[in-house]
Homo-oligomer: A and B are copies of this chain.
Amino acid sequence: MTTRTASTRSRLSPEERRSQLLDLGVRLLSSRSLDELSIDLLAEEAGISRGLLYHYFGSKQAFHEAVVRRAADDLIAQTAPPVEGEPLHRLLVSMTAYLDYVDTNHAGYLSLVKAAQGGNDTLREIYDEARAALTDRVFGEDAQGQIVRETPQTRLLVKAWAAFAEEVVLGWKADPAGVTREEVLDVLVMSLPALVGVLPPQE
């Protein structure tokens, strides 16, 4: 006797099925790497045949990319809405949205982050795109509202700050003991100007 109660096959609309498989993929890939996840297991969890996964995604690799893209799109959608106001306030709003996202979509965020490193260029690209949604706004288009002026030095620094922010949030989620949410937000926001401050002033 298997886990499935329904002995009959279920026929969903392509959109529903695709969505179901992506959701499942996000969940499963947050705790395993791709090669630790067999199509067999995935198919069984979804209650479908192996063949159907290939019908929808073509290959295991392509499935992975679709899963990561789904996670990235979620992140971008929930953190990207433009914000008015002072630079530091905008940064606070942005970081709050980011923290909220990771709070409610921990699995999705993990599968995104994990995919980015071990993976190929396509995966890395998707990840960079998502990261840009968080960091782009610190480089203002005009000279007025920007937090950081764009130079080779600051570009490197801001990219590294994003890695810092990611580690703060994931580290806190993994072990929140002794640190409040407000302290985390404070560090996320104030760290950027503090880091920019270590660069020699550029004119």
Contact at A157–B197, with CB atoms within 8 Å? no
Nearest CB of chain B from residue A148's CB, rounded to whole Å: 14
A152 on interface, CB distance cutoff 8 Å: yes
A113 to chain B, nearest CB (A): 7
How far does the alpha carbon of A33 sit from the alpha carbon of B114 in the complex, in Å? 12
Q: How far in angstroms is the closest Cβ of chain B from A179? A: 5
> A179 is contacted by which of B153, B167, B177, B194 (Cβ under 8 Å)?
B153
Query: How far is it, in angstroms, between the C-alpha of A183 and the C-alpha of B198 when the chains are bound?
Result: 10
CB distance from A35 to the nearest CB of B (A): 4
Q: Is the CB of A119 within 8 A of B33?
A: yes
Q: Is the CB of B156 within 8 A of A168?
A: yes
Residues of B within 8 A of A160 (CB): 164-165, 167-168, 171
Q: Which residues of B contact A197 (CB under 8 A)?
A: 194
Interface stretch, picked from A71-79, A138-146, A185-193, is A185-193
- How many copies of this chain? 2
Counting chain B CB atoms within 10 Å of each CB, the highest count among A35, A164, A165, A168 belongs to A164
CA distance A178 to B155 in the complex (A): 11
Nearest opposing residue in chain B for A164, CB measure? B164
| Cβ contacts under 8 Å, A163 to chain B | 163-164, 166-167
What is the number of residues of chain A that contact chain B, defined by CB distance less than 8 Å?
43
State whether A191 touches B195 (Cβ < 8 A). Answer: yes
Q: Please tell me if A117 contacts chain B, counting CB pairs below 8 Å.
A: yes
Q: Mark A161-177, 1 if CB is under 8 A from B, else 0.
A: 11111111001100001
The answer to whether B120 touches A113 (Cβ under 8 A) is no
What is the bound-complex CA distance between A190 and B196, given in angstroms? 11
* 27 A-B contact pairs sorted by A residue (CB < 8 Å): A32-B120, A33-B119, A34-B118, A114-B118, A115-B118, A116-B117, A117-B117, A118-B118, A118-B119, A152-B177, A152-B179, A153-B183, A153-B187, A156-B168, A160-B165, A160-B167, A160-B171, A161-B164, A162-B167, A164-B195, A183-B199, A187-B195, A187-B199, A191-B195, A194-B194, A194-B197, A194-B198
